């Protein structure tokens, strides 16, 4: 089966938030305009009926839409609100309760995998393994920058998974960990705000060789840069790079991928994140799963101009088709 294309509806957040399209319309667009076979949903963002317990009619309607638009549910994004109450953290038992709540919803909506947010503790996943097995829904801890594929958090979690012998806990890779340079739009914004092009070039070159932000700040000072250039460097502070090759360590536990992207240019190329190498590695390790487009460039639009989320996702799928060889 190999690599298959999906869309995380996170990508359409502004379109939905502003009321331009509802969930059904976005499913239709995903099928007919983007041409994606897969769909990933954050039910706390675009609920099917009522979150976390939709009535049966809402679930039936959801399944009817999936049939109508020939879409496969690929992954459901879960959150656990450890700070649900102002004055204390949730106990382990309460956090597991939230995990089971989301596993149950995923089962009802047809999602085989849930995304576990990266700061969720391994103990919570461990204590949810039985529930996940009973429901046959997998939990994938998201490897999201600034976390890396070789962070202690990742290796300790995977140690727990291997010891448990469970097939229901693994990883989800967010492609933000493969960012090589600032997105084009961030650089354009900085130029408009008066940044010196040669300093932006220097920041870009330093990021391409994975140099730390502190070093960029030193260079900016040396070259006579100001707040705008420092702002560009500061925005990269959390973009800690992982080598795509490191995915090989976890080949059997990779459940899903988030194809994070910030800007697709007119030729359908991502302007800051490497896709060729990670796709090559995924093929080589025999990855048999989904990559969901996850557009996050909305935040680069600070003026009157509005992002075209649907067009961005469409271009991302043009690129993924080429990389997959469809």
CB of 186 to other proteins, least distance (A): 16
CA distance 204 to 202: 5
Closer residue to other proteins (CB): 18 or 209: 18
Q: Are 215 and 123 in contact (CB under 8 A)?
A: no
In the bound state with other proteins, the residue whose beta carbon lies nearer, of 72 and 240, is: 240
Instruction: Supply the minimum distance, in Å, between the C-beta of residue 196 and other proteins.
Output: 27
Closest listed residue to residue 6, CA positions, set 318, 264, 286, 293: 293
Residue closer to other proteins, measured from CB, 11 or 30: 11
**Cβ-contact 48, 58 below 8 angstroms:** yes
Nearer to other proteins, 255 or 295 (CB): 295
The CB-of-10 to other proteins minimum distance in angstroms stands at 7
Of 80 and 186, which has the nearer Cβ to other proteins? 80
Q: Which residues bind other proteins (CB under 8 A)?
A: 10, 13-14, 16-19, 42, 44-47, 51, 79-86, 117-119, 298-299, 301-302
Q: Is the peptide bond before 52 cis (omega within 30 degrees of 0)?
A: yes
Strand partners, 264: 270
**Alpha-carbon distance 257 to 232, whole Å?**
27
Residue 59 beta carbon to other proteins: minimum distance, rounded to whole angstroms? 18
What's the CA gap between 240 and 220, in Å, rounded?
19
80 or 262: CB nearest other proteins: 80
**Between vectors from CA 272 to CA 140 and to CA 241, what angle results, nearest 5°?**
50
Q: What is the DSSP string of 70-132?
A: T-EEEEEE----TT-BTTBPPPHHHHHHHHHHHHHHHHHHT-SEEEEPTTS-HHHHHTTHHHH
């Amino acid at each position: 089966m190999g690599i298959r294309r999906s869309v995380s509806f996170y990508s359409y957040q502004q379109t939905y938030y502003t009321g331009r399209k509802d969930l059904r319309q976005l499913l239709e667009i995903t099928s007919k305009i983007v041409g994606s076979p897969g769909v990933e949903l954050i039910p706390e963002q675009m609920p099917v009926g009522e979150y976390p317990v939709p009535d049966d009619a809402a679930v039936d309607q959801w399944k009817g839409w999936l049939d109508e638009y020939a879409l496969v549910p690929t992954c459901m994004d879960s959150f656990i609100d450890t700070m649900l109450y102002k004055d204390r953290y949730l106990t382990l038992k309460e956090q597991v309760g939230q995990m089971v709540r989301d596993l149950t919803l995923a089962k009802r909506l047809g999602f085989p995998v849930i995304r576990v947010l990266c700061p969720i503790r391994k103990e919570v996943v461990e204590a949810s393994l039985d529930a996940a097995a009973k429901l046959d829904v997998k939990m994938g801890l998201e490897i999201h920058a600034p976390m890396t594929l070789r962070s202690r958090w990742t290796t300790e979690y995977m140690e727990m998974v291997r010891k448990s012998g469970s097939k229901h806990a693994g990883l989800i890779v967010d492609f933000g960990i493969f960012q090589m340079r600032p997105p084009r739009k961030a650089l354009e914004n900085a130029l408009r705000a008066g940044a010196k092009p040669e300093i932006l070039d220097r920041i870009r070159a330093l990021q391409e060789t994975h140099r730390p932000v502190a070093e960029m700040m030193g260079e900016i000072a040396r070259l006579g840069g100001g707040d705008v250039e420092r702002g560009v460097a500061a925005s990269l502070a959390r973009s800690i790079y992982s080598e795509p090759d490191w995915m090989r360590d976890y080949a059997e536990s990779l459940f899903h991928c988030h194809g994070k992207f910030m800007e697709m240019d007119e030729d359908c190329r991502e302007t800051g994140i490497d896709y060729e190498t990670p796709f090559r590695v995924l093929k080589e390790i025999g990855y048999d799963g989904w990559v969901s487009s996850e557009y996050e460039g909305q935040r680069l639009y600070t003026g009157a101009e509005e992002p075209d989320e649907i067009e961005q996702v469409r271009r991302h799928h043009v690129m993924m088709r080429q990389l997959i060889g469809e």
